[in-house]
Amino acid sequence: MIYDADIIFMVKTMRTLVDVGDAQLQELDELSKEEKRSRAALIREAIDDFLAKRRNKHEGDAFGLWGKQKIDGLAYQMKVRNEW
């Protein structure tokens, strides 16, 4: 559950298995002790960061796509609309 002011959000969770190497597990345990957080919390945060980074990457893919076109964007738009 997430508590936000007077609003309670129910967050559905799912347990999953992930194979982690010994070196990764050791570093994760050290970080867990340093930050006084569970391994699960650290892994959830890492997944959130990974997904946010990918989401931001894909959002930027469309930026400036028209810049390489030889025709002015407004002129193209008017040409296409006149075809209707």
User: What is the share, in percent, of the chain residues with pLDDT greater than 90?
Assistant: 40
What's the confidence (pLDDT) of residue 76? 84
In tens, the pLDDT along 38-75 reads: 999 999 999 999 998 888 776 666 666 666 777 787 88
Average pLDDT over residues 28-44: 95
> Which one has a higher pLDDT value, 24 or 76?
24
Res 69: pLDDT: 73
Q: Where are the domains of the chain?
A: 20-82
The 3-class secondary structure across the chain, one letter per residue, is: CEEECCEEECCCCCCCCCCCCHHHHHHHHHHHHHHCCCHHHHHHHHHHHHHHHHHHHHHHCCCCHHHHCCCCHHHHHHHHHHCC
